[in-house]
Every structure is written in structure tokens, then in C-alpha cells.
């Protein structure tokens, strides 16, 4: 059943308001191991989410297809639920555009580049494996309602991941990096691959470090992961339920004065460009933290109603951001290393979900991986150890910020940061 017919049927079934969200995603993922393409898979998926008002209640559901049975089920749910939950529906919008659906591209030239990465084995004899993955994604989103209001948006992103392994006798060193961009030409796979090969070589002789307080540089990837968890603490629903460490922190100083965090969903040059969220609410560029002061929480329609505020346009299946970033500083990464002089670089931490960062308390306990810096120079890797701190402590103790922002997802990106007096449990 087509979208318009589904909406007409919803009216026939007695729904007073009805809103349909269609998401069509075309993806191609290419994985290369050394000199071979090990997989090249295409997925083409359409999903639907919808909500309707009937019996003075709003009910919601989702499906991979549209059928009258969906409406019957939704009506049945409304008849038996005790909730009198009401929702907000699309009003007239004047930015209706007729967009093409998902876009396919030719990735042949980039595949050849991925295969050429294997040539680094000529320069680096200890290089055992080099793996690269490119994920191309084209997403088309359409929202329709009973009043013929239509909103459309389209986004295209390229996500590239690269990891390497070097071996010498019984020793192994690994390193990786990832980046997300809207332009394939922005990905310099040769320069970045060589950097992580050099880093992997340093991990062949990882050293134990003592427990103590260290100056550390958290690289872009690590800061992005922490920011991603910070977003969760701003969820208006968690604030209402008093389950966030940011409760009662609005318009109060929570971080160092040099910390400004912005969200720019309307920036076309960033991978999370989007003009409205999954409820059809306009997105807005906003300052989340201004010189250390928390300026806003994040709301969808329901949490906004519960908190007597308006939605901030942050519903993307869950309450989250698009193109949130920590504002950059003035120094290169190498200059941060020299400024730190002695300390640790944190290149990554175990587990990508950030589950070791507690939303309720803000406490952080993560197993970290990275490099040792002595007298302003990187000298070795270190055996994985534990970093213990909190979101508040990390961003309060920032001494300096690098001048490059890298995005690892549509959600957020970050520069590297130099942090003082971080507690590390050594080996």
C-alpha cells in the first residue's frame, strides 16, 4: 500500500490526526582485507513509523510495510490502553520540496584505492594485515499527515574505517581510525593509514605504566565518544525522571570556561545535516554549553509536553543530536603533544557504546589504549589501563584544545583535548 492510500484509510478508520514517517535507506558496504575485496554488500530498506489520534488517545507503531492490518492493530491498541497520552502533529509548513529518493553512486575508483593500501607492506615489512571498510549511505525521509502536509529530506554520508596489525615474532601491534564525511574526496586514506601503521609499530613494545595522576591528551575519537554519552544526559525525559547527572544544572557552570559545545544540524558541510527531526519539528542550530555554562536540555514532543516546554527538534528515533561538536582551539595535535611534554595519549577505549560512562552520576571508568609521551615526543605504546574520572572533571580540567574537528558519526564530532591531573590505574 502506498503512503497516500494508507493515510486515506486511516481517516476512514476514524483517526482524528495521523502522521506517517517513511525512511528509505540505500547502503553499500565494501570491506577490503589486504589485496582482496572480501565483501561488497548492498542493502535497500524502507521502514515506516506512524502515530494516530483516536478515542482521544495517541498511539504509535512501526512496520516494514503498510497495510490495513496495521491500522486495525493501532485502533485495537488505543481501545485497550489506559493512557490518555496526547501528542503534537505537523502543522502547515512552507518548505515543501519534491526530492529524489535515495541516490546510488559508483565506488569503483575508491575500491581501487582501498586495494592499493596493501602496497604499504613494501615500506613496512612487519605489516601483517590492513583492513578497510567503506560504508556509503543515502537516506530519504518523508513525513505525511491527513492534511496533505509533506516534509522531505535527504542525506548522503561516507563512513570509512581502517585498522592495521603489525607482528614481530610473538608480539602484535594494532591501531585504527574512522571518519564520516559528506564528500568521498575528503577521505585521505593513504595519509591516515600510514599514521596508524606508525602507531601500530609503537604498540609492538607496549610499556607498563604506574598508577597516578597524569596529563593526558584525549584524541578526537575518544572525545566524540564521551560527547555522545553527554548527549544522553541532556535527554528531557531523563531530566523529568531525575535520572541524569545534569538535573538542575541548566544555566549553571558545569565545565571549564574554554568549553563551548554547539549543535549545527543546519550546517550543510557536516555529515548530520538535517532540516527537521523524525517528528517533523524544525531543527535549529544551538549552543548547548556556552563557555562552560549549560544552556539547554534536549526534547522531543512528548518530553517537551511533560516539561511544559517546546521540542528542540532532537527526535531521531531517540533523543539525540545531529552535528554536535566541541568548539576547536588553535593548536595542532603535535603542538598539544609538545605542550603536554610528559603524559599519555588516549587513542581509544574498550567498547564503543560508552557503557562505562554513567548517565546518572557522570562517572567515567574506561580501559584505555594509547601512547606514552616523554619530553614532548611519542616514545611507545602502553599496556591497556584504567582511566577513572567524571564528565565534569574531564571538561573542567581541559588545558587546551586542538584545531581540528573530526566526525565519527552524524551525531557528533570533536577536536582532541589536553586534560590535566587524570587518575590512571596502571599495571
pLDDT digits (tens, 9 = 90+) for 279-335: 999 999 999 999 999 999 999 999 999 999 999 999 999 999 999 999 999 999 999
**pLDDT band at 151; cut points 50, 70, 90:** confident
Is 400 or 98 the better-scoring residue by pLDDT? 400
What gap in Å lies between CA 215 and CA 398, rounded to an integer? 10
Are 318 and 421 part of one and the same domain? yes
Domain co-membership, 176 together with 219: no
Q: Could you tell me which residues come within 8 angstroms of residue 54 by beta carbon, excluding any fewer than 6 positions away?
A: 13, 14, 15, 16, 74, 75, 78
pLDDT exceeds 70 at position 99:
no
> 90 with 133, same domain?
yes
Q: Where are the beta strands (DSSP E) in 169-247?
A: 171-181, 212-218
The parent domain of residue 69 ranges over 3-204
Which ranges of 244-351 would DSSP assign to H, the alpha helix? 301-306, 333-340
* pLDDT class of 354 with cuts at 50, 70, 90: very low
pLDDT at 154 over 60: yes
Query: Does residue 189 sit in the same domain as residue 221?
Result: no
Strand partners, 117: none
**Is the predicted pLDDT of residue 92 greater than 70, yes or no?**
no
Q: Give residue 84's pLDDT.
A: 74
Q: pLDDT band for position 353 (50/70/90)?
A: very low
Same domain, 194 and 221: no
Q: What is the mean pLDDT of the chain?
A: 93
Please indicate, yes or no, whether residues 140 and 261 belong to a single structural domain of this protein.
no
Q: Which residue has the cell 581510525?
A: 177
Helix boundaries (H) for 165-219: 189-202
Q: Is the pLDDT of residue 355 over 60?
A: no
**Domain boundary residue among 145, 178, 204?**
204
pTM for this structure? 0.91
Contact by Cβ (8 Å): 134, 110: yes
Domain boundary among 154, 189, 204: 204
Q: Residue 21 is part of a domain; what is its CATH number? A: 3.30.2290.10
Q: pLDDT tens digit string along 124-134?
A: 999 999 999 99
Based on the domain organization, do 111 and 253 belong to the same domain?
no
- Identify the domain boundary among 174, 204, 234: 204
**Residue 270 shares a structural domain with residue 223:** yes
Number of domains, the chain: 2
Q: Give the pLDDT confidence score for residue 100 in this predicted structure.
A: 59
pLDDT category at 103 given cuts 50, 70, 90 is confident
Amino acid at each position: 500500500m502506498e503512503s497516500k492510500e494508507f493515510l486515506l484509510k486511516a481517516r476512514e478508520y476514524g483517526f482524528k490526526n495521523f502522521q506517517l514517517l517513511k525512511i528509505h535507506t540505500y547502503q553499500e558496504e565494501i570491506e577490503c582485507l589486504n589485496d582482496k575485496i572480501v565483501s561488497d554488500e548492498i542493502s535497500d530498506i524502507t521502514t515506516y513509523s506512524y502515530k494516530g489520534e483516536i478515542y482521544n488517545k495517541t498511539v504509535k507503531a512501526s512496520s516494514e510495510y503498510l497495510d490495513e492490518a496495521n491500522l486495525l492493530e493501532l485502533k485495537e491498541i488505543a481501545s485497550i490502553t489506559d493512557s490518555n497520552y496526547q501528542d503534537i502533529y505537523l502543522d502547515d509548513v512552507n518548505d515543501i520540496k519534491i526530492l529524489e529518493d535515495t541516490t546510488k553512486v559508483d565506488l569503483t575508483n575508491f575500491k581501487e584505492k582501498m586495494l592499493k593500501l596493501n602496497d604499504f607492506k613494501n615500506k613496512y615489512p612487519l605489516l601483517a594485515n590492513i583492513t578497510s571498510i567503506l560504508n556509503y549511505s543515502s537516506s530519504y525521509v518523508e513525513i505525511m499527515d491527513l492534511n496533505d502536509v509533506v516534509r522531505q529530506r535527504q542525506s548522503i554520508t561516507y563512513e570509512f574505517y581502517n585498522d592495521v596489525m603489525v607482528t614481530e615474532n610473538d608480539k602484535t601491534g594494532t591501531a585504527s581510525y574512522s571518519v564520516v564525511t559528506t564528500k568521498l574526496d575528503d577521505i585521505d586514506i593513504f595519509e591516515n593509514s600510514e599514521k596508524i601503521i606508525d602507531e601500530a609499530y609503537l604498540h609492538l613494545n607496549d610499556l607498563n605504566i604506574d598508577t597516578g595522576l597524569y596529563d593526558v591528551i584525549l584524541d578526537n575519537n575518544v572525545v566524540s565518544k564521551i560527547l555522545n554519552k553527554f548527549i544522553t544526559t541532556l535527554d528531557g525525559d531523563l531530566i523529568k525522571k531525575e535520572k541524569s547527572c545534569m538535573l538542575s544544572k541548566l544555566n549553571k557552570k558545569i565545565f571549564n570556561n574554554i568549553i563551548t559545545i554547539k549543535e549545527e544540524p543546519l550546517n550543510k558541510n557536516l555529515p548530520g545535516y538535517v532540516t527537521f527531526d523524525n517528528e517533523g519539528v524544525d531543527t535549529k542550530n544551538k549552543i548547548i554549553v556556552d563557555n562552560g555554562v549549560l544552556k539547554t536540555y534536549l526534547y522531543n514532543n512528548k518530553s517537551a509536553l511533560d516539561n511544559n516546554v517546546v521540542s528542540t527538534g532532537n527526535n531521531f528515533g531517540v533523543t539525540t543530536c545531529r552535528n554536535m561538536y566541541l568548539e576547536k582551539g588553535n593548536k595542532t595535535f603535535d603542538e598539544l603533544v609538545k605542550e603536554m611534554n610528559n603524559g599519555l595519549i588516549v587513542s581509544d577505549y574498550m567498547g564503543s557504546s560508552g557503557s562505562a560512562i554513567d548517565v546518572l552520576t557522570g562517572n567515567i571508568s574506561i580501559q584505555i589504549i594509547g601512547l606514552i609521551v616523554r619530553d614532548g615526543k611519542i616514545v611507545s605504546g602502553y599496556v591497556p589501563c584504567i582511566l577513572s574520572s567524571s564528565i565534569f572533571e574531564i571538561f573542567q580540567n581541559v588545558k587546551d584544545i586542538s584545531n581540528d574537528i573530526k566526525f565519527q558519526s552524524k551525531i557528533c564530532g570533536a577536536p582532541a583535548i589536553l586534560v590535566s591531573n587524570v587518575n590512571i590505574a596502571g599495571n
